[in-house]
Amino acid sequence: MTDTPRIALIATLDTKGDEVAYVRDRVRALGGRAVVIDSGILGEPSGCEPDVSRAEVAEAAGHDLEEMRGAGSRGAAVELMQAGVRAVIDRLWGERSIDGVLCIGGA
């Protein structure tokens, strides 16, 4: 662990990009480092640049983003992305790259 707390911020940047940018900036202002993880599926990310892209999240679940978008329903796609987010968080935690996690809105 470092002296600087590292907080993973999980959100769909297509709908919560501005909110994530605000929280990221607050984490920084308080002396932390934010690791932004985009769990969005459909729209284009805006308002905040991710450290872990939605394509990387999909890949961590063993799929590609287009495959997830065609999963049959929004619910099925969200479940696949959740698996990817879990895998990314597990990896970052195992590498001791994060100290905590905050999920912002959505499923």
pLDDT computed for residue 107 by the predictor = 53
* Of residues 59, 65, 39, the one with CA closest to residue 50: 39
| Residue predicted with more confidence, 73 or 24 | 24
| pTM exceeds 0.85 for this model | yes
The predicted-structure confidence for 45-57, as pLDDT tens digits, reads as follows 888 999 999 999 9
Q: How far apart are CA 81 and CA 57, in angstroms?
A: 7
Q: Residue 73's pLDDT band (boundaries 50, 70, 90)?
A: confident
Structural domains in the chain, sorted by start? 6-103 (3.40.50.12020)
User: With contact defined as beta carbons under 8 Å apart, do 10 and 92 qualify?
Assistant: no
Q: Which amino acid is at 89?
A: I
